[in-house]
Structure formats: C-alpha cells, structure tokens
Structure 1
C-alpha cells in the first residue's frame, strides 16, 4: 500500500525522516531510544508499543534505522485510523548489547518485537575486542541470559511475534540450539556481503505463506538477498524440532549449489496457521530502496558519524547489481515476503486489538494480509471505523 500525504511528496523518499529514526510529522508514529531504565516512557492505551532489540552495540549501521523506518511507513498507512481513534504506533529501541536494556516479556505492553543485525561474534563471550571475530567489540555478556528468557516467553505466547534479522537471527540459533555459528573461512570467500542469493527449502514450498514466494520465484526457488555477515549458521545433526521449519539455505555463489548454512528459520507459526510469528533471516530485508540508502550513507559521512572505509564497504554492496535482471525489484520481493508483509500482519493485529479494547470497531483485519488480498486504499481506511 502506498499513498501521498503532505510529508510524502512526489520525488521525495518513500518514508519521512532524514536518514535516522525520528517521529512522524503527522503524529502517527513516535520513536524512543532506551539506553537507561528512566528512558522508558510509561505505557499508554493509545500507543501500540513495538520493542526493537538493537544489537548493534553502538556501531553505525543501516539496518536498525531501516527496521524503524519500515514501522514508520506501516504506521503512516494507518493514519486515517490514528486520527479517528487516537491509536498510534511507537517504536521503543532497546540498546541490548551495550547498555544491557532488555524489554519486558509479553503479557503487558509488548506483543511485537523486532531484532536487528549487529557486529562481532554471535557469542558475546567471544567479543574481547581483540580477536578477529569481535570486530573490535568488547562486550559485557550479562544481557544474554535475560534475552534468552525473553525468547522463552515469546515462544510460549501464541499472541506475540518476533521478527529477527542477521545478528538476532544468529542469537536465536544459539538460544534454540538449532544451529552453531561458524566463521566463514577462505574456502567460502570470507565475509558474505552484497547482492547475493539464497534458495528456498522444500518445506518453504509447502508453507502456507512462503509457498506464494516459491511460486513467484519459479522452479529454482532462488531469491536475491542483501547480505553482510561473517558467520554461517550450521544446523545441528538431525531433524528440526516439531513446529520449527527451515525456510532458506545459502547458495555457494549466485547460480551455485546449495551450501550447508541455514539462512531462514520459522521457529513458531501464528495460530491462524499461515503467517510466521517467530521468524528469523540471516540477510537484510530491512535495507530497502538502495538509492535512498546510498543517500543516507553519504549523510552519515558528512555528519562525521562513519569512516570512509565504512562508507566504501556499504556503497560497494548497495551499488552492486547482477546482469540481465532487475536486482532492485528482486530484493524488494524478498523484503516483502520475509519481513514487510509479516510485519504488516502483526502490526495490524496489534492496532486492531487496541482499537477494539478501547470500545471501537474497525473494518481492518490482519487476515487480509495473510490471504494475500489487495490492501485497502488510504481513502477506504478513512471510513473503516464503525
């Protein structure tokens, strides 16, 4: 769904903001950074709070802001409902690894969590600031135990969702015991970065949600990804536990054979039976609109936030294309199926439930997203409240 408001004019970015998270001028969205307990605002029945697990340890990155901007864009889609009901969306970004801030478990203010990428080893005990895998990160691992307890609670709560990318995906693999992290060696070309390829599993072709993606990809099941990772996640021997489904594998180069690293896992499915509710990927579907991302990278350099080396690495990944295809469109397709539509589904559910809890009825239901039906227009949403 897309629309134009006075803050989204032709020729401008598809989201509000200036290359970093901020509040939406329309009032439909708010961003709060949580680095200390006192940074956490009180819960409010008219705010749908989404917990962002920031795993970047203070490093400059594009992914965290991409996740927040995706939330902002989805919140702005619901602007007519926000104006009528006062129900808005708020992203609370918890500085997990550097500040030890872990959000509260589901059952209170949170029913939707998002996990970002991040630098260093997937095991915080390996991040001594000196080893190759630490990437200069010297880490206090005390956040790991409370985060693992949070994952336990999310898994146990059918009404709660967690969507994870890259570093958080690796941490989930360690928590669940599904896969072990292995540093990519020279035999695999070292770090995996840029526009590359994954392949869907046979299980994905039978999955109620991902089989649509499989059909769109055709018989090869190969999808474009934007990658930036040091580690492979190698599944432990034996079948996956009941209820947990492998969705994607790496390929050994574009067009190459399937590799041994798992890249997408559904840990739990929504009770409706279609949409993943506890899901992780080892790529970056949150980094959307590469032209816009290039602009953000250059803005960060101009503000002195990043080094020239950091910029060069990101620009190389963001400007790479593959011959004889529309790489940008294929990346958008991957983002849609592996992040944006699941996120829209779970956010719509939380907004709908909050409106109903306030004693109002609304013609908005997340099952429309799960069924792949056309989404309501901006004007239609204006008349959705009854």
Structure 2
C-alpha cells in the first residue's frame, strides 16, 4: 500500500552524516538533476519503489553515505566530497542523463511486476501499481551508456536485478508458483562454479559452507535463465531439499580489469543490514515523521519477530560484505582518489 509521505526527501534529517561534504539530493522528475560539480564524486541511486513506503531505499542511501564518509576520512585532507543523487525512476520518470558523471549507480528493489506494462493496478502481481512504462526506454539507454563507460559501475538489487536481466537478456521473469510462494526472510542461495573461479566472488565461495550462502529475500518473481552467453551466472536459489533450483539469484554483466565486478546484480537485499542496523534506521525514519505510524508499526513488529540466529546474522553479513559493502567501498575509494589527483578544473 502506498504511503503518500516519502522518507526519501532531501529536506529530511534521515540522511544527514557528520561530514558536511557528504550530501544527498533527490531528483523527482526529468530536468531536476543537479549539475555536476568537480569537487564532488557523484553516486546515483535508481529508486524503483514507485512511491511506496519502504526500507530499502533509505538503507541504500544510508550505506552509500556512510561508506563515502569513511573513505573521505581515510583519504584525509584534499579528499573530494561525495554526493548521493537519488532518481524517482518509476513514478517520476527521472532517469540520469549521463553515465560518465557517476562512479557508481545502485538500483533498488521495488514492488510490482518487472515489466511495467503488466502493472495495471488490479492484477495480482501488480501489487496495486498502475504504471506508466515510458521510463523504460530511457533507462535501457542509460544502462547501455553505463556498459559502454568502463569507469562507471552498476549494482542492481532485487527489482533492478530483474530489470537488468530483461535489459541484458540473461533472464526472464516468472511469477513464483502457489506451491513455492513468496521467497521471504533468510534463505539459502547456492554459488556456481563460475563464482568459485571468479577473481572476487571466490572469496565468498570459500567463506561460505561450500558455496551455500545466506541472503535476505523478499520477492514474488523468479528470474529464469535464457542461456545467453557472455554473462556470468553466480548463484541460484536452493530448493527446500537444498538442491540447486532453476532461478538465478546473482549475475555479472561486466567486470573491472582487476577482476572486481563492474555491472553485477543480486536478487536479494544486502542493503538492509542486521537487526540492530534495521532498528536504528527505523527509529530515524520514525523521528523524521515522514511515514505513517501504521507502516512503521508493521515494520517494527516484523523486526521484533525477527528470529535469525547469531550464526545466520554472521552469514548474512558475509554475503553483504562481498555483494555490496566491499565492492562499493573499492569503487568509491578509486573514484575519490582519481578525482583528488585530477585536481581542480
């Protein structure tokens, strides 16, 4: 259910960090983009929530700003600022006009079908969304531009995973059957042999129990492989019996020369964090008074019912480290150093 109040507003204290040179901007519609500034490293967030109340976008922005602040502190005097620029893609039709200005782009999760033309407001998988699909063509062109620009990275989460699968052609969206139901909570994914051999993700393979990783899931759709070549399928869902399922849950489209992922996507939620991090973020959202008490109450109630063991929490953090935290940190660090060394215009 949509909440007309949106926590992702640039007037809110929700995203304020100690470092005044780590900033947040919101682009609600085409033409609202702030101009690029030489002294700022820009990071884009593609908000796919269509105005629906959520925790995911706040979690992505929060993590990006925190990592930006930490990397600026590590670099010391002369480090450029960091600006996280969030685009309301699905509701406002706001899509970045340039790929080259961004060191990193992160696409969020979101509700509804993965093809916007199927979101008619009434069908079961539309989840109440009546969607104008006109944003899709500009977004596909933006993805093309990111792929063609070797200095820009892109991470797709959940809904954006499905969009990248459609754009790159490596997967087709299929509603999960009534027998399978929604995939939600802490579940197991199985890394592939490609992940085991991968320059970066082999670390996750060896840190897990033989390639069995824990992820935080919330999805109604499976992404089924098309067999397209040139794409690294990194993980599949696990069946209730622990066997490899058909659905793809991690993939890589491009990588950097050092072997780290450049365009990669996950069909889970590495941005959310552990119970303590979720609780702190919900309290900040509550303090901002920008979402309904009913939505916050539901989220807090769900958090109180969170029953992941300490061991499961640790395994989730390992997954997050490899799929989100450390690749993002390396990208921001590299971008800050390059911007600093380039000097003023």
Given the two structures, how large is their TM-score scaled by the length of structure 2?
A: 0.89
Q: Mapping of 1:80-99 within 5 angstroms? A: 80=73, 84-85=77-78, 87-99=80-92
> Structure 1 residue 200 and structure 2 residue 208: aligned?
no
- Deviations 1:65-94 (Å, cap 9, x if unpaired)? 111111111111134367621511000000
Q: Secondary structure at the match of 1:39?
A: coil
Distance across 1 between alignment mates of 2:183 and 2:290? 27
Match of 2:112 in 1: 120
Structure 1's unaligned 5+ residue stretches are 1-18, 361-386
Which structure has the bigger radius of gyration? 1
Looking at structure 1, the residues matched to 265 and 303 of structure 2 have their Cα atoms a distance apart, in angstroms, of 22
* Aligned equivalent of 1:63: 56
Alpha-carbon displacement from aligned partner over 1:187-230 (angstroms, at most 9, x marks no partner): 11x111111111101110010101111111132x1111111111
CA separation in 2, counterparts of 1:130 and 1:78?
46
Q: Distance in 1 between matches of 2:246 and 2:76?
A: 49
**What is residue 178 of structure 1 aligned with on the other side?**
170
How many angstroms does 1:42 deviate by?
A: 1.9
Q: Which residue is 2:203 aligned to?
A: 212
Aligned residues of 1:87 and 1:351 also touching (Cα < 8 A): yes
Question: Does residue 50 of the first structure (1) align with residue 43 of the second (2)?
Answer: yes
Determine the C-alpha separation between the residues in 2 that align with 1:271 and 1:91: 25
- Give distance in 2, aligned partners of 1:196 and 1:142: 34
Cα deviation, residue 260, structure 1: 0.9
Match of 1:351 in 2: 336
**Cα deviations by residue, 1:289-324 (Å, 9 ceiling, x for unpaired):** 32231344466568472474775367537743356x
Task: Encode CA deviations 1:126-159: one digit per residue, 9 max, x unaligned.
Answer: 0011111110111100000010111111112222
SS in 2 for 1:186: coil
Check conservation: 1:194, 1:318, Cα contact below 8 A: no
CA contact (8 A) 2:187 2:216 kept: yes
Q: Secondary structure at the match of 2:179?
A: helix
Work out whether residues 103 and 332 of structure 2, in 8 Å CA contact, stay in contact via their aligned partners in 1. Answer: no
Distance in 1, matches of 2:332 and 2:71, equals 10
Structure 1 residues 109-129: Cα deviation after superposition (integer angstroms, max 9, x where no partner): 223211000000000000011
Q: How many residues align?
A: 333
C-alpha distance in 2 between matches for 1:249 and 1:280: 12
Matches within 5 A, 1:71-82: 71-80=64-73
- Residue 228 of structure 1 is matched in structure 2 by 218
The 3 A distance-change label for structure 1 pair 226 and 319 is farther
User: Residues 53 and 295 of structure 2 are in contact (CA less than 8 Å); yes or no, is this contact kept in structure 1?
Assistant: no
Distance apart, 1:97 and its partner CA: 0.3
* Residue aligning to 2:232: 245
1: distance between equivalents of 2:303 and 2:165? 26
**TM-score scaled by length of structure 1:** 0.80
Select the structure with the greater relative contact order (CA < 8 A; seq sep ≥ 6). 2
Q: Is the 8 A contact 1:198 1:222 kept in 2?
A: yes
C-alpha separation in 2, matches of 1:27 and 1:133: 42
Tell whether 2:247 aligns with 1:264.
Answer: no
Q: Would the alpha carbon gap of residues 296 and 20 (structure 1) be closer, same or farther in structure 2, given more than 3 Å must change?
A: farther
Unmatched segments (≥5 aa) in structure 2: 1-11
